[in-house]
A = this chain, B = another copy of it.
């Protein structure tokens, strides 16, 4: 029914309106955090020491909804460090999001998610997964021990040049996501997919106030572009904040421009 599609168009609804459509518990909490803090900013904490990671969480915490880690680039990892990260997350009301990009068979993913030095399932409410290996990954995550409230961002499109995510790949990814409504928090993509799914979050990486690239094929878009044209709900900002002399000020800058773009988007009917 096209009327329902238009009525429930994700891009035209407020985050508060969309909260009731969400079937995954972390999605609901995320939407609430976004509304409460007026932020759609996810900081990509691509730093290699626990001190830098905790400092970044403390500095950007008041201005973000998601704190995205790559725990497997940290050089001085120790389980105790996670206590501090969780304490900061609770105090500043953001969600910890391990960008693991699971991409193995279900049995291995289950071990990578819940075992190992990292025990990701015990501290990260959100993780990323690739769809390339099929449903085994989602089954593996679903059947693992760990936090009761868990959600997955499934990667449908990549922000880097030369990725293999063509239309059939994207379609198959969305089909897979729809089979796991209780587990899927959202889709990582560069274009407004899943318009008829207001309860699913679009996460878009590769966001930078200056549209440039890096020497390893990464490509960037401006915050306004990703929210108004590309359909991003949550925008991932990495090096623009982490390499800044003042990460807190930079986070505020991104938060404000992203939120203004979101308000503009839902206001235009």
Residues of chain B within 8 A (CB-CB) of A176 are 162
With A217-B139, A218-B136 known as contacts, the answer to whether A160 contacts B75 (CB < 8 A) is no
User: What are 26 A-B contacts with C-beta separation under 8 Å?
Assistant: A46-B107, A48-B115, A48-B116, A70-B111, A72-B117, A73-B116, A77-B116, A99-B104, A101-B103, A103-B103, A103-B132, A105-B159, A105-B218, A107-B218, A110-B216, A131-B164, A132-B169, A133-B163, A134-B163, A135-B161, A135-B162, A136-B216, A136-B217, A162-B176, A164-B169, A169-B169
Contacts of A110 in B (CB 8 A): 216
Q: A172 interface residue, CB < 8 Å from B?
A: yes
* Pairwise interchain contact B116-A74, C-beta atoms closer than 8 A: yes
Among residues 113 to 152 in chain A, which have CB atoms less than 8 Å away from a CB atom of chain B? Answer: 115-118, 130-136, 139-140, 143
With an 8 A cutoff between CB atoms, is A87 at the interface? no
Selected contact of A168 from candidates B70, B111, B159, B168, CB within 8 Å: B168
Contact across chains for A134 and B164 when beta carbons are under 8 A apart: yes
Instruction: Check A132–B165 contact: CB distance below 8 A.
Output: yes
Nearest 10 CB-CB pairings of A with B: A106-B216, A134-B162, A136-B217, A73-B111, A103-B103, A134-B163, A101-B103, A105-B160, A136-B160, A136-B216
**CA A65 to CA B169, docked complex, whole Å:** 34
Q: Do B103 and A217 touch (CB < 8 A)?
A: no
- CB contacts (< 8 Å) of A135 on chain B: these are 161-162, 217
A166 interfacial by beta-carbon distance below 8 Å = yes
Verify A103–B130 contact, CB threshold 8 A: yes
* Total copies of the chain: 2
A residues neighboring B (CB under 8 Å): 46, 48, 70, 72-75, 77, 99, 101, 103-108, 110-112, 115-118, 130-136, 139-140, 143, 155, 158-166, 168-169, 172-173, 176, 214, 216-218
Q: Which B residues touch A173, using CB under 8 A?
A: 164
CB A164 to nearest CB in B, in angstroms, measures 5
